[in-house]
Amino acid sequence: MQPYDFLVLGSGSAGLSFALRVSQKGNVALITKKERTDSNTNWAQGGIAGVMGPDDNTELHVQDTLIAGAGLCHEEAVRVLVTEGPDRIRELIEFGARFNRDPNGELSLGREGGHSRRRIIHTADLTGREVEHTLVEAVRRHPNIAVLEHHFAIDLIVQEERCCGAYVLDDATGQVQAFVAKATLLATGGAGQVYQFTTNPPIATGDGVAMAWRAGAEVADMEFIQFHPTSLYHPDAKSFLISEAVRGEGGILRRRDGTAFMAEYDPRKDLAPRDIVARAIDSEIKKTGDECVYLDVTHLAPEEIRSHFPTIYARCLSFGIDITTDWIPVVPAAHYSCGGVRTDLTGRTTIDRLYACGEVACTGVHGANRLASNSLLEALVFGQRAADDAGVRAAGWEYCPFIADFPGASRRIGIHDHEQVAHLRHRLQTVMQKYVGIVRTDARLQRAAAAIAALRAEAQAIFNESILAEDVLELRNMIEVATLIIECAQRRYESRGLHYNTDHPEPLDSERHDTIVRSPEQFPC
């Protein structure tokens, strides 16, 4: 057993900021299944929303967030986010984060869809990478934090309704260790890989939600999957993200014939919130039969495009698209999970001593639709809040007295089975993309539920016999998360925010959240 004061599962901005904070109170183990910089944070292009401009104020940011959330945000959580956010941004700058500044040395503030003011702090179009590397460097220097790369968290250890740590697979040795801790944080990111087309990195397989679900924690609002409106449409691009900031700086969505169409869907046109823009693009593609729509920035100055969006410019150019002269072909792709493990304002889950923050958590900030660039802010704000709470409470906690060995620790998988696992994974992604995407129907959701149940039954033998292979563990988690998304979607007999069901096109008056607790007979794998 490896005893620590604090165990952090995940190395994105939420996990790193938590680890830095609690390291003042005790020793920390930070577990990541790949390298420490493999995270959704590292892929975030747009920026961090924060009230930093002279014409902005807290109330405007709060209202923009509530409007985007379509009536399901927890206003108290939103006010915490917006009020405490600027201080977290200043702390990043103190750590060494370098954000774009104007000629006067002031922060250069961008604007994105759904925001009424320019309030997006950014580092060109690589803000997430700058935040991640800043925090990683601070963690690397800290003597109280041990970072274990290529370690896969299999399951949480729960005794007497309290979390005691986690069983972790060491990829290098194939051995499972019990990491015992006084307090455990889930910061494992999102679940975009359950869809065929996603802007998420390959690691985003919903591991944290699935682990918490199996352990008995409440999960909430899983039906609200945000599809980013504009991912690059190219056979070799693998859903490369075209940042929301491109529209914020004046990008115009057009049909193949050049017609700008967003005014037909929303008075805010190309600056409408993401759910509206994604449905508009989905509608246009279905109506015209075209494979994509186009994002036009050719009316902007070429030097402005190259300086604001150097990564996007270079990436598109590598596919033969010069965005200073060519329209960018774009389609929507799964991008962000607004639901997750339910927490309070301090990051506490419904299991004692288990915390969650970042995309794996459902704080209530995002409601039915996340406002652009609020996600990095949420990770930083609630990462610190969870750390402050855990740091105080853990001082009075003891380690769990007895931890059993992980069951089935001798099982392995043969090379021939990896192909079968990959096939099942692709089937799952195809089902979710086809039936549980931007626009849903009752019949599609029923077909998805049946298909995932059949896939689960087919995969059960693999789970029973080969549970220690990383791809098998990911498949198990993806199946459970897909099931949760479908079940929550089937429960919501309305259209609201990111959940749009043509059989129930109008929102209901009630502001209901879907909260699900696992019963012992459910999902035995």
pLDDT digits (tens, 9 = 90+) for 338-384: 999 999 999 999 999 999 999 999 999 999 999 989 999 999 999 99
Q: What percent of the chain has pLDDT over 70?
A: 92
Output 372 or 49, whichever has higher pLDDT: 49
- Please classify residue 415 by burial: count the beta carbons closer than 10 Å to its beta carbon, then call 0-12 exposed, 13-18 middle and 19+ buried: exposed
The answer to whether residue 518 scores a pLDDT higher than 80 is no
- What does DSSP assign to residue 296? E
Residue 521 domain-assigned (yes or no): no
The model's confidence at residue 524, banded by pLDDT at 50, 70 and 90, is: very low
Boundary of a domain, candidates 286, 302, 333: 333
Pair (388, 437) in one structural domain:
no
The answer to whether residue 427 scores a pLDDT higher than 50 is yes
Q: What is the pLDDT of residue 469?
A: 84
The model's confidence at residue 257, banded by pLDDT at 50, 70 and 90, is: very high
Pair (155, 196) in one structural domain:
yes
Residue 409 domain-assigned (yes or no): no
The model's confidence at residue 115, banded by pLDDT at 50, 70 and 90, is: very high
Q: Which residues belong to the active site?
A: 274
Q: What is the pLDDT of residue 359?
A: 97
Residue 401 domain-assigned (yes or no): no
Answer for the pair 233, 352: CB distance below 8 angstroms, yes or no.
no
Residues 6+ apart with CB under 8 A from 291: 233, 285, 329, 331
In sequence order, what are the beta bridge partners of 356?
186
Mean local confidence (pLDDT), 32-56: 73
Q: What is the pLDDT of residue 17?
A: 95
Q: What is the pLDDT of residue 412?
A: 55
> What is the residue type of 154?
I
The answer to whether residue 43 scores a pLDDT higher than 60 is no
Least confidently predicted of 66-80, 106-120, 271-285, 413-427: 413-427
Pair (271, 189) in one structural domain:
no
C-alpha closest to that of 379 among 407, 357, 397, 352: 357
In sequence order, what are the beta bridge partners of 227?
334
Pair (346, 487) in one structural domain:
no
Pair (29, 100) in one structural domain:
yes
Mean local confidence (pLDDT), 254-268: 96
The model's confidence at residue 463, banded by pLDDT at 50, 70 and 90, is: confident
Pair (20, 47) in one structural domain:
yes
Mean local confidence (pLDDT), 404-425: 74
The CATH number of whichever domain residue 424 belongs to comes to: 1.20.58.100
Pair (325, 466) in one structural domain:
no
Mean local confidence (pLDDT), 28-38: 80
The answer to whether residue 494 scores a pLDDT higher than 60 is yes
For 65, 184, 222, the CA distances from 364, given in Å and listed in that order, are 11, 21, 12
Pair (371, 441) in one structural domain:
no
Q: What is the pLDDT of residue 155?
A: 95
Report the chain's mean pLDDT, rounded to a whole number.
90
Q: What is the pLDDT of residue 523?
A: 40
The CATH number of whichever domain residue 196 belongs to comes to: 3.50.50.60
Pair (343, 283) in one structural domain:
no
What b/e readout covers 113-152, taking b as 16+ CB neighbours within 10 angstroms? Answer: bbbebebbbbbbbbbbbbbbbbbbebbeeeebbebbbebb
The model's confidence at residue 319, banded by pLDDT at 50, 70 and 90, is: very high
Boundary of a domain, candidates 333, 349, 380: 333
The CATH number of whichever domain residue 294 belongs to comes to: 3.90.700.10
The answer to whether residue 513 scores a pLDDT higher than 80 is no
The answer to whether residue 413 scores a pLDDT higher than 60 is no
C-alpha closest to that of 88 among 391, 385, 390: 385
Output 318 or 522, whichever has higher pLDDT: 318
Q: How far apart are CA 151 and CA 153, in angstroms?
A: 7
The count of structural domains within the chain is 3
Residues in the chain, how many? 525
Residue 200 domain-assigned (yes or no): yes
Write down the pTM of the prediction: 0.89
For 42, 79, 285, the CA distances from 321, given in Å and listed in that order, are 24, 42, 21
Mean local confidence (pLDDT), 24-48: 74
Q: What is the pLDDT of residue 16?
A: 95
Output 358 or 128, whichever has higher pLDDT: 358
Residue 410 domain-assigned (yes or no): no
Q: How far apart are CA 180 and CA 399, in angstroms?
A: 7
Residue 524 domain-assigned (yes or no): no
Pair (177, 99) in one structural domain:
yes
Q: How far apart are CA 44 and CA 336, in angstroms?
A: 11
- The pLDDT tens digits for 266-287 are 999 999 888 889 999 999 998 9
Residue 63 domain-assigned (yes or no): yes
Full residue range of the structural domain in which residue 483 is found:
415-507
Mean local confidence (pLDDT), 39-67: 83
Residue 519 domain-assigned (yes or no): no
The answer to whether residue 289 scores a pLDDT higher than 80 is yes
Pair (282, 430) in one structural domain:
no
The answer to whether residue 415 scores a pLDDT higher than 60 is no
Least confidently predicted of 28-42, 71-85, 232-246, 285-299: 28-42
Boundary of a domain, candidates 280, 304, 333: 333
Pair (101, 212) in one structural domain:
yes
The answer to whether residue 521 scores a pLDDT higher than 50 is no
